[in-house]
Amino acid sequence: MSLVPGFSLKNGDYTIQRELGRGGFGTAYQATLKLPDGQEEIVAIKIGNDELSDNERSQRE
């Protein structure tokens, strides 16, 4: 799964800014989080690889 800049998660609370990198467990993204006071915070989000079977995932963990 690859997310493009501008993609929203969690009902628009998080907005993807860019991909940071890919690894064995998934892909990390820079995103902004909308705070209750209207400001934004820069955060990192990691999305796990859907392609890993349950057996592969348990062996890596």
The answer to the question of residue 12 being in a domain is yes
Asked if residue 38 belongs to a domain, the reply is yes
pLDDT digits (tens, 9 = 90+) for 1-10: 689 999 999 9
Q: Pull the structure tokens for residue 10.
A: 């969690």
Q: What is the CA radius of gyration of the chain?
A: 14
The tens digit of pLDDT for each residue in 1-60 reads: 689 999 999 999 999 999 999 998 899 999 999 999 999 999 999 998 876 555 544 444
In a domain, 57, yes or no: no
CB 1 within 8 A of CB 47: yes
Domain residue limits at 43: 8-50
- Tell me, yes or no, whether 24 lies in a domain: yes
Q: Domain holding 38: CATH number?
A: 3.30.200.20
Helix (H) or strand (E) holding 57, with range, is: helix 54-60
Q: How would residue 61 be classed by pLDDT, with cut points 50, 70 and 90?
A: very low
For residue 55, tell me if it sits in a domain. no
Residue 33: phi and psi, rounded to 5, are: -110, 125
| 14 located within any domain | yes
Domain total in the chain: 1
Query: What integer pLDDT is reported at residue 60 of this predicted model?
Result: 47
Domain membership of residue 27 (yes or no) is yes
